Amino acid sequence: MVTTAVVRTQTGVRIESSLLKVLKSLAEYTNLTLGDLLEGIVLHAFEGKAPFSPATLDTILQLKADYGCELTAADSHQLVESN
């Protein structure tokens, strides 16, 4: 396996609560840090590739149900804060 050295930046990102719970649980499930998971998702998206296998998608559906995350891609860029 080839490794690539990178410089990472600590950032404060606001994200919908149930979505964050799903992502954190998925990171734990896949034995990745949250940052590594997000980097992988973004790098796949930048190349138009699906980041998850069918088995992982099944796990995501279960995690979304567990955490009450009802958001879909259709909700993207349409979310407003309730506070």
Does residue 5 lie within any of the structural domains?
Answer: no
Give tens-digit pLDDT for 12-35.
999 999 999 999 999 999 999 999
The CA distance from 40 to 37, in Å, is: 5
Does residue 56 lie within any of the structural domains?
Answer: yes
Does residue 9 lie within any of the structural domains?
Answer: no
**Number of domains, the chain:** 1
Does residue 2 lie within any of the structural domains?
Answer: no
Helix ranges (H only) for 1-53 are 17-29, 34-46
Checking if the pLDDT of 83 tops 80, the result is no
Does residue 37 lie within any of the structural domains?
Answer: yes
Q: Which domain holds residue 58?
A: 17-70
Does residue 65 lie within any of the structural domains?
Answer: yes
The predicted pLDDT at position 68 comes to 97
**Residue 52 — φ and ψ, nearest 5°?**
-125, 145
The answer to whether the CB of 30 falls within 8 A of the CB of 56 is yes
Does residue 7 lie within any of the structural domains?
Answer: no
Does residue 53 lie within any of the structural domains?
Answer: yes
SS3 of 56-79: the string is HHHHHHHHHHHHCCCCCHHHCCCC
